[in-house]
Structure 1
């Protein structure tokens, strides 16, 4: 049972980390879920209020930041609500429509098209598209770092 628990935990950690690149995967929720899998299959004894408080705080930061970093970046370069919506749609469908580069092209094209629907110039739309990419890359780096911290805290808590 312990071996199965560790296999599931590691699998959920991998899915969680892949979720930073493919937004259709659960990302941080998979990592958080791994803690419950471990608890139910091995035991919750190692975890206490501090473990859950720290992990839940990181989870909330990631969820809130995931939805705001891209929008803030687009707004910072003068993007409209339409470009934020376009960026989000592009982020979700880009990897499926253009598998190799859709994660990058999807948000960019979505933001550009969103601005163009608002009768903005092509130069302005391209600037907003670039802002969406900066937001995307910032968000991915932040998610990778914070999710690795969550995993590290888990192992520290289990070992010590």
Structure 2
């Protein structure tokens, strides 16, 4: 049973890291579940305070992932269409132009979304940059959280 839990934990860790860039997959919660799988093995015992801290980090990063791009867009004068455009641009860029689509898709999508909202070109580009910077900040936070959990997974496994 321990081997199954370790394998499932490793799979969840990897899927969690991939989920940092895929908007449909919740990266940090999946990485945290991977850590929980390891915790329930007889091979290791992760301290409960570590698990509680990482659970709080997971919740905080998951909430911030939705707040930061909106804040970036609003801070630079954007609209909801810019936020939606950024998300749609990410999905299109991810599937049609990997790996560069992950970076440029949200920027182009936010720009198109702002233009569809009737913004002039300069204002649309400014808010698109805000949305893009918010997206990058949220993604970076997710990566940091997932890699910290992966670090603990490896440390407690070996």
Report the TM-score, using the length of structure 1 for normalisation: 0.82
Q: Which whole-Å CA distance do the structure 2 matches of 1:39 and 1:78 have between them?
A: 45
Structure 1's unaligned 5+ residue stretches are none
Alignment check: 8 A CA contact 1:79 1:115 kept:
yes
Alignment check: 8 A CA contact 1:87 1:107 kept:
yes
Match in the other structure for 1:26: 26
Moved more, 95-104 or 58-67: 95-104
Q: Deviations over 1:82-138 (max 9, x none)?
A: 211221222334312333322123211221112112211112111222222212222
Alignment check: 8 A CA contact 2:86 2:132 kept:
no
CA shift, 1:77, in A, is 0.9
Q: Which whole-Å CA distance do the structure 2 matches of 1:128 and 1:143 have between them?
A: 23
Q: Which whole-Å CA distance do the structure 2 matches of 1:64 and 1:39 have between them?
A: 25
Match in the other structure for 1:87: 86
CA shift, 1:59, in A, is 0.9
- Superposition RMSD in Å: 2.5
Q: Which whole-Å CA distance do the structure 2 matches of 1:93 and 1:68 have between them?
A: 22
Alignment check: 8 A CA contact 2:9 2:36 kept:
no
CA shift, 1:54, in A, is 0.9
Q: Deviations over 1:14-70 (max 9, x none)?
A: 221122223333311221121332345x24982454233212101111111111111
Q: Which whole-Å CA distance do the structure 1 matches of 2:43 and 2:23 have between them?
A: 30
Structure 2's unaligned 5+ residue stretches are none
Match in the other structure for 1:139: 138
2:69 aligned with 1:70, yes or no?
Answer: yes
Q: How many residue pairs were aligned?
A: 158
Match in the other structure for 1:15: 15
Q: Which whole-Å CA distance do the structure 2 matches of 1:34 and 1:122 have between them?
A: 45
Alignment check: 8 A CA contact 1:94 1:103 kept:
yes
Q: Which whole-Å CA distance do the structure 1 matches of 2:6 and 2:52 have between them?
A: 23
Match in the other structure for 1:118: 117
Match in the other structure for 1:59: 58
Moved more, 132-141 or 2-11: 2-11
Of the two structures, which has the highest relative contact order with CA contacts closer than 8 Å and spacing of 6 or more?
Answer: 2
